[in-house]
Structure 1
Amino acid sequence: MDGRLFSFIAASISAVVWSSLPALAILAIILTLAILLWCLTTRNSTLATIKSFVFCFLLGIFWMASVGHWQQTWQLQENDFKQGVWVTGKVKSLIDDKNSTRFNLIISRVDDRELTKDKLIRVSWARPKWPVKQGQVVQLWVKLKPPHGLANQGGFHYQQWLFSQAIMATGYVKAHENNALLVSNVTVRQRLLDSLIELELTTMPWIAALSLGHRGLLSPDDWSLVQRTGIAHLIAISGLHLALVASLCYLFIASALLFCYRVLIKTQNANFYFISVLITLVATLGYAYLAGLGLPALRAWLMLALTACLLLSRIHWRFKRILLISVGAFIVLFPLSLFGQSFWLSFGAVLIIGFVFWRWPVKHQGFSIKGWFAGMCRLQLALSLLMLPLVAWQFSFISVAAPVINLLAVPIVTLVIVPLCLLAVVVMLLSLPYWPQLMMLIDWGLQFLIEKLNIMGAWPEAAYSIQSIPAFVWLCFSIATLAVLLPRGLVSRGWPVVFCLPLLTYALTPNPRDWQINVLDVGQGLSVVLIKNNQALVYDVGAAYPSGFNMADTVLVPFLRGKGLGQVEVLFISHFDNDHSGSLPMLREKIAIKHVYTTNDVCRQGQQLSWQGLTILALWPDEPQLYNDNNGSCVLKITDGSYSVLLPGDIDATIEAKLVSRYASALQSNVLIAPHHGSNTSSSLAFIQKVMPQQVIFSQGFMNRWGFPKEAVVERYLQVSPKMYRTSDHGQVQITIDSGSVDVRTFRQNIYPYWYAN
């Protein structure tokens, strides 16, 4: 049974590395083969085993491919994205922000069309007509887009996250007098959150996370603290908290029933053990509801339910089978969760805990503080060490202080803070008068804990951002670590060294002699990063928005750190429009910048700089104060003598004509960043013919309101027949130049070409 489960799971997990879905015709062939294998009979036990393994493998492929095709079939119609539409649905998200509201909506109707299956969309509403709350049924006028996200190395894969959450569209609510609240019902979770917010406690965001699983109130500084100290698992209601609640609930119910039996009733007419376990399951399901029935909580509850069934039926399964059945069941019930990070982090942690208890089994010799503390240290160190490759691969970040910090934080949070939070929520639900005082006590305790965490997290060596390293290298390192921890004699001691070689080789690779042009996907804006000799030159930094969302935190800093770059040596700002310079203050806060050049100083016509062996020529402006922001853009040509890139900012055709008149054929460049994102006021034919680019890159937003790049602009470039790339379609565009050879790669087609992320 275990082998067949493993075969099904392995086949399902393979969907993570598919570049495209198998065609429906291929699916029919796979299903036919699976049915034929099922019907095939053989008396040879080896052949029968192979047959069952292959059958389960084909079943896994068929299941995940079918899920992918279902998701594509259930998408909204194309016309729903071309114009505003009326949607009717139920608010799914907890809402906490009164100024700018973003929430998930389960819609059942689009315009006059009743949907055969409810769909989940994610929308923002800048100025809502009424306080939006979870549970309300609303009718809204919305502008939608298909699921899409910025696509860059080192950045968060938003489109993949949307897919893993089964979100079919994103967009915003448009102001309209007919936007209406149809049903004003509010969920219990929303009422609890509103009551918490009214208290205005110092640590209210942390209490909301621990009590209700709502982490939307945590600030960027809070998240930075969580990352540096490695306590993310403590503020997510999942296995650790659910196990604690189950233990406390079982002890309370069992003790109460035992008291009733011995003192009040004095006769046993029921199976108290069965009743205690059943009530515990119901109580923990209620706790999972408080967490919003999120996937981590559901995973933990399903494993708890499976364990309870085994205990009640007195069936003994080994840990391996319990884990395989849990993973298999979750793939069947929630197949899209395979494409989210939490699936791998959760089951990775469970697997490591199982390994620790197998490697160092608990000896039943009575309880001792020394033994308990030794076990906690061993478990925490093993978790930190064995989870390191997975965390480093996913986040390019390592918290060195996490093992020590968790030894202190885990007991305090799980044994003190979480039980108090649970008690406070129960008191709130029962409308008893003392819950504010209880929340204040929790607030005081959390203030003390966060103060200590800030002290430990402020240690300069507490955490490191590391270079992005391929998954295969981290997999080899994981195998090496596991081999070291295995009992002596199981594997040769030489194998860990062998499996560490890829990481050592990767770390000791000499500095490349090539240089690289990276046009980042920053939506409707521009940011270009040139890399040579492990140094970075940046041209423009993208936009920042009133909500706090900005391209420095979202794109630039993760990209630079993923490349192992701790500073920006040279930064050029073409002009001061938000979409080119808005993220500059945020970038300054997060990373060191040695030199910043603008049209106010160095970037003037005729200036020339040398950087890492490259020549930087400033072609424009002559007198920036004579022009508007766009036409006063800093225009640069950067070349190594044989290969060059032209960065024209947002100039229009009038400035292009001046450049053609002044420089003529000297404008010729291999790569051209299309002026003004592909606006029809730019990219004149005369300019294009003088530049004669081999690659043209449009940096523009997905389905942007201006329709960039304009069709007329694209047609003009086609007359010169260059290869054209759009960051909205291709994501980050990376051009590597090495001794005359040129390699062009795009994020969506080459770097991260997986079907569920594109």
Structure 2
Amino acid sequence: MPLSVSHDRKPVVWEQACRYPVILLLAFLVAGVLIGRYLPAARPWPAIFFWVCAGAGIVAMVRQKAAVWFFALGFLFFGWVSMARFASPVINEHHLLAHADGNTRWTITGTVDSDPEIFGNRQVFLLKVDALEAGKKRFEPRGRLRVTLYDAPEKPAFGTGLKFSGVIRPIRNFGNPGAFDYRSYMAWQHVFGLAYAPARRVTMVNEKQAPTFFYAVEILRAELGRAIDRATPGPQAGVLKALVVGKKTDITPWARDAFIRSGVAHLLAISGLHVGIVATGVFVLCCRLFSFVPLLLWTGWVKKSAALVTLCVVAGYGMIAGMSPSTQRAVIMVTVFLLSFVVQRSHRLLNTLALAALTILLVHPPALFAVSFQLSFSAVFFIVFGMGVMQARVARISRRPVKIAANFLLVSFLAIVGTLPLTLHYFNQTSLVGLASNCILVPMVGFVAVPLGLVGVIGHMAWPPAGSLLFGMAGTVVQGALAVAQAIAGLPFAAAHTITPNLLEMACLYMLLASGLAFAGNRSGHAPPDTEPVEGKRFVKTWPALLFFFALAVLACDTGYWICHRLLHKDLRITVLDVGQGNAAVVELPRGKVMLIDGGGFAGSSTFDVGERIVAPFLWRNKIATVDILVATHPDTDHIGGLAYVADKFHVKQLWSSGQPADTEDYQALMDAVARREILMPAYETLYGSRTLNGVDVDLLYPAAGFSDPGRAGSWQGTNNNSLVTKISLKEVSFLFPGDILKKAESELVATTGDRLASTVLIVPHHGSKTSSTPVFLDRVRPEVAVFSAGWGNRYNYPHPEVLERYKTLNTRIYRTDLDGAVIMKTDGTVLTVETPCAP
């Protein structure tokens, strides 16, 4: 539609850009950051364009011309240049990444740069590297390491100097389509490598670093955390530390899950609620106190002085809270609001929100990709926008208590709605009781526990026993809130898991939400917030309907595509996932049936659930919510560690296994999930043999029925040799999944199955160990393609060089998850295609 213009006025878009310059600058800066992230350009052209635009903008200002568009372009190029430094840094001997080869043993000297997290006998912290030494070589690189310290008797304090020897491993991503980019996430925090060391090899270089302001803040945060632990031991201490000092690492998993399922996870992040409570309390208190000062009364500086004092307190609280993106946003917005009292200028909320985002991105461009940044600004934008368009309806309520309750419910509703697409995208879960939970838990936590905790901070600094008393009272309230959250989360309808909406679907959801709110505002006779009458009023009234139906049409087309892609396809698709040192394969049969053969897992790791972090996200991204058959080849952790999560969170119809038990936590967790979700688990004797599923032949070749009978079992038949061996065939193309069978099982399999072993693709047994893939076995299988599922740089040296040579002798195409990432295979029964989209 053409812009509406008159003879003496600028176009509407030009006028709106001049009225909202901060929003315009933010939009261009965001565009620049996105370009710098995904299309980092060769230096120095973006920098040159930035200075040209900046110069043109200054000239336009001098000549009293509109310079906003020149500055906007300048912000685009600035964002491009700034983000490119993170996306494609210059790697030389002064950069830590140049020394993270995983082989060289360095003597590492550095300074503890974070509060250590404790996981069993391990302590994990960040180390700012001061020097690396190996023989006569010495470097002083830039960057930090993520250090894992074993068996340390006590935590190294922030600022402690340490020295130890070890190799620096590069940070690697799991190579699965759409997987979380852990390497970039760490690099944006200036962390470029991993190091491991037992405590006995670590020496303290100096007790503490030279005192600095930030060092003092971190020491204070650590001391407050310890004071909270002493005052209120238990799970409530972790939550209270998150509310007071922004430390969320001590929140127990069940407490975090309870808050998420009950829809109040936002309470765990210090944001506008917490900062607003501090600002309001301090401002009101200062206004009362300063009203007794005659000089301030005579000069009209009561509110101005109160605003300045409040500003200092809010900034201090932000520092103590750790300045997460949500805290930064709240502090900046409150700062702008308070400064409006000082300079006596009004402010537009949308401009203020944009200024907060602009400030954060100018300082740290990668913040744009932080989940907390996106959730925080999305929630506040929808609150501002929604309250603006709905305020006419709320204003009609005459009774003050009802109006306060309506505003509270509306704010909670808008925050939930505003973050819904992001929540579905990142967490695949939405709370169905969030509005009710907020009505109970926000007053308990926000209006009671947080104020008590913050006053406890002051009390602790003034007189520690007083602080301990207040922390104890706050802990009691948090304990009650935890009990309520757990009770609500325990309701069967409290939350629902969903498939992952992609970027297009998220955009459509936001368009539907925004147009719905705008339509409600038009019906109430109120325009969107911060707007004034402009030309094109008919378009202003009709755009919500146009946007709504456009988004609906796009979603309908998208839904049709996914129905065809997921449920109507005729090919067989198999994806061997990169799960590190383990196995997991997703089998998509024609017409939508899904099998999951093993789920990966890390032995001895209670903090990284492969099912939760790798397998489930892959399934949800591919719009898979139902797993028809879950196959556990054998009960070793590296094969079943991730299955319990899948069994619990997905609609699983059957679990196939040999029935062989194991005395491990992972096996018990899987059995508990099967019982809890009432998943059918057929006896192995009924599974052994052949069946056809949606035109695909599925054969369980091994072990033979009755393998566990006392008279038949041999001493060599452990869990590995009793692995299920499954063959999946579509016409002329077949895939063999042998689990972890070893030499003797391979021999028995060859003897009992004969030519039925011949397969187009072999998922290499036991990750490529030299105890498997015997010549006799390979001669019978004769694979055209071999897929090794192994972890990069694993301590077992899998796949073994001898085994690799055996496959090369057969002219077999070799794929490795440790080098190629996920291996995606598709066939129509005649032609096989193999892709490794995440290969470096």
Q: TM-score range by the shorter chain?
A: 0.7 to 0.9
Identity %: 23
List per-residue Cα deviations over 1:174-197 (Å, max 9, x = no partner): 354453363168822222222322
> Superposition pairs for residues 43-62 of structure 1, below 5 Å?
53-62=72-81
> What one-letter code is carried by the residue in structure 2 that aligns with 1:671?
V
Equivalent residue runs for 1:710-729 within 5 Å:
710-720=800-810, 722-729=812-819
Which residue, out of 522, 536, 558, partners 2:594?
536
Aligned mates of 1:271, 1:390 — CA distance in 2: 44
Of structures 1 and 2, the one with the larger relative CO (CA 8 A, separation 6+) is 1
Who is 2:111 aligned against? 90
With over 3 angstroms needed to count, the CA separation of the structure-2 counterparts of 1:128 and 1:677, relative to structure 1, is same
**In structure 2, what residue type is equivalent to 1:596?**
W
Counterpart in 1 of 2:414? 382
1:272 CA drift (Å): 4.7
- 1:102-149 deviation per Cα after TM superposition (whole angstroms, max 9, x unaligned): 222222222377765652222222311433333433223344321224
User: Following the alignment from structure 2 to structure 1, what is the Cα–Cα distance between the partners of residues 53 and 88?
Assistant: 24
Q: Structure 1 residue aligned with 2:689, among 583, 599, 607?
A: 607
C-alpha distance in structure 1 between counterparts of 2:432 and 2:90, whole Å: 40
Q: CA deviation at 1:470?
A: 1.6
Q: Is the 8 A contact 2:258 2:489 kept in 1?
A: yes
User: Matched residues in 2 for 1:526 and 1:440: separation?
Assistant: 47
CA contact (8 A) 2:423 2:430 kept: yes
Shift of 1:745: 4.6
Matches within 5 A, 1:116-515: 116=140, 118-152=142-176, 157-180=181-204, 182-183=206-207, 187-198=219-230, 199-201=232-234, 203-259=236-292, 261-262=293-294, 271-361=301-391, 368-486=400-518, 487-488=521-522, 489-491=541-543, 493-507=545-559, 509=563, 511-513=567-569, 514-515=571-572
Are the equivalent residues in 1 in contact too, given 2:162–2:202 (CA < 8 A)?
A: no
Query: Is 1:679 matched up with 2:769?
Result: yes
Whether the 8 Å contact between 2:117 and 2:125 is mirrored in structure 1 is no
Q: Is the 8 A contact 2:160 2:204 kept in 1?
A: no
Deviation at 1:154, TM superposition (A): 7.9
Change (3 A) 1:211 1:323: closer
TM-score (normalised: structure 2):
0.79
Contact 2:101 2:170 (8 Å CA) reproduced? no
Paired with 2:427 and 2:442, the residues of 1 have a C-alpha distance of 22
Deviation at 1:748, TM superposition (A): 2.8
Structure 1's 494 and 111: CA in aligned 2 closer, same or farther, altered over 3 A? same
Taking the aligned partners of 1:631 and 1:177, their CA distance within structure 2 comes to 39
Shift of 1:588: 5.1
In structure 2, distance between residues paired with 1:224 and 1:562: 21
Query: When the two structures are superposed, what TM-score results if normalisation uses the length of structure 1?
Result: 0.87
1:620 and 2:702 aligned: yes
- The letter for the 2-side match of 1:570 is I
How far apart are 1:234 and its partner, in Å?
Answer: 0.7
Alignment deviations for residues 429-450 of structure 1 (CA, whole Å, 9 cap, x no partner): 2234233333332233223323
Contact 1:165 1:337 in 2 (8 A): no
User: How much has 1:603 moved relative to structure 2?
Assistant: 8.1
- CA distance in structure 1 between the aligned counterparts of 2:181 and 2:53, rounded to whole angstroms: 39
Query: What is the CA distance between 1:718 and its match in structure 2?
Result: 4.3
Q: CA deviation at 1:232?
A: 1.5
CA–CA distance in 1 between the matches of 2:547 and 2:244? 46
Residues 1:493 and 1:507: Cα distance change in structure 2 (over 3 Å)? same
In structure 2, how many angstroms separate the alpha carbons of the residues matched to 1:59 and 1:105?
30
Q: CA deviation at 1:171?
A: 3.4
**Partner amino acid for 2:113?**
K
> Which residue of 2 is the match for residue 752 of structure 1?
none
3-state SS of the aligned residue for 1:649? coil
* Aligned-pair CA distance for 1:621: 3.8
Structure 1 window deviating more from structure 2 (97-106 vs 119-128): it is: 97-106
Which stretches in structure 2 are left out of the alignment for 5+ residues?
1-20, 210-217, 523-540, 661-682, 708-712
The offset of 1:404, in angstroms, is 2.6
Please give the alpha-carbon distance, in whole angstroms, between the structure 1 residues aligned to 2:327 and 2:344: 25
Assess if the C-alpha contact under 8 Å between 1:4 and 1:56 holds in 2. Answer: no
User: By how many angstroms is 1:334 displaced?
Assistant: 1.0
Letter aligned with residue 599 of structure 2: V
The 8 Å contact of residues 445 and 477 in structure 2, kept in 1 or not, is answered as no
Q: Any idea what SS the aligned residue of 1:433 has?
A: helix
> Which residue among 653, 658, 667 is the counterpart of 1:598?
658
Q: Secondary structure at the match of 1:539?
A: strand
Aligned residues: 743
Q: CA RMSD of the aligned region, Å?
A: 3.7
Residue 562 of structure 1 deviates from its aligned partner by: 4.8
CA distance in 2, matches of 1:266, 1:224: 50
Preserved CA contact (<8 Å) 1:683 1:713? yes
Q: Determine the structure 1 residue equivalent to 2:122.
A: 100
SS in 2 for 1:496: helix
